[in-house]
Amino acid sequence: MWIFGRKGESGFGASSTAEDVTKGIDGTGLTAIVTGASSGIGTETARVLAMHGVHVVMGVRNTEAGRTVKETILMETPDARVDVIELDLSSLASVRKFAAEYCSLGLPLNILINNAGVMAPPFTLSKDKIELQFATNHLGHFLLTNLLLDTMKKTSREHEKEGRIVNVSSEGHRFAYKGIYFDKINDESSYSPIYAYGQSKLANILHANELSRQFKEEKVELTANSLHPGGIATSLLRHHSFLEGVVDWVGKYFLKTIPQQPHAMWHYTRKSKGLVASIL
């Protein structure tokens, strides 16, 4: 169990970092999009990808924060290729604009990491009048992925390398309603912040599973996976100050730090073929 620091068959454990897992890997020539890369595990994921030569495109709601992260990455890795493009996953119009801008650049796309998210806010509707967590955590990424699929398929054919889509889900999916309440997603009277979060994370998993099925059926050189990043101290609980305080205190003993988290992303599909699989 990770709590006790035991290492798995891979030789990596809870204390392993993304740098540990990616040691010796060269990602030159690969291009990745990381959503929510202006803070937390998204930042660390972008940093380590860039460190290994991957061209990283950060999809972020706060572009000022994104540029600050970019500058920090460049200070550490001066020759890194990092771009920042505005992306608000809670707005379908913003998702469409981001995808259109990305495609207009003519860039390939080997890796798509759907990481951005919001956790357990008070009941709120997005700009599209959809419950905020379902809109941000699932629908935004669902649309983004669909809009970029042709580019990813084209890249995998031309580069002859397996592409990779990773949905950052959560063990919180176990706290979802019984199934997904499609007819009550926007119903404030039945809203539970935690259950709604779990519902959105369950949708991430189902999305990845369906993509994986389609790719196998179409014999496309793409894979889709979802993962639980582990218990980690991030700003996701910012909507619950008391719980955040408790987690901060308990987390000193049980939660992973941000540099320790993304190793789950790197190792999750490491056994698959191709350089992209090695990086993820």
pLDDT for the residue numbered 55: 99
Does 181 qualify as catalytic in the annotation?
Answer: no
Reduce the DSSP state of residue 82 to 3 states and report it.
Answer: strand
The count of domains in the chain is 1
Q: Is 245 domain-assigned? A: yes
Place of tokens 């992303």: 265
- pLDDT tens for 117-149 read 999 899 999 999 999 999 999 999 999 999 999
Q: Is 202 domain-assigned? A: yes
Q: Is 41 domain-assigned? A: yes
Q: Is 5 domain-assigned? A: no
What average pLDDT score do residues 198-211 get? 94
pLDDT for the residue numbered 257: 52
In terms of residue numbers, what domain contains 63?
Answer: 24-279
Residue 158 binned pLDDT confidence (cut-offs 50, 70, 90):
very high
What average pLDDT score do residues 87-114 get? 98
Q: Smallest Cα–Cα separation from 276: which of 22, 105, 82?
A: 22
Q: Which of 19-23, 153-157, 170-174, 272-276 has the highest average model confidence (pLDDT)? A: 153-157
CA distances to 61, 177, 186 from 268, rounded to whole Å, are 27, 27, 34
Which residue in 181, 191, 195, 197 is the catalytic one? 191
Reduce the DSSP state of residue 164 to 3 states and report it.
Answer: strand
Dihedral sign for Cα 35, 39, 41, 46, please. positive
Query: What pTM, to 2 d.p., does this model score?
Result: 0.83
Place of tokens 């290994």: 52
Indicate which CATH number applies to the domain containing 91: 3.40.50.720
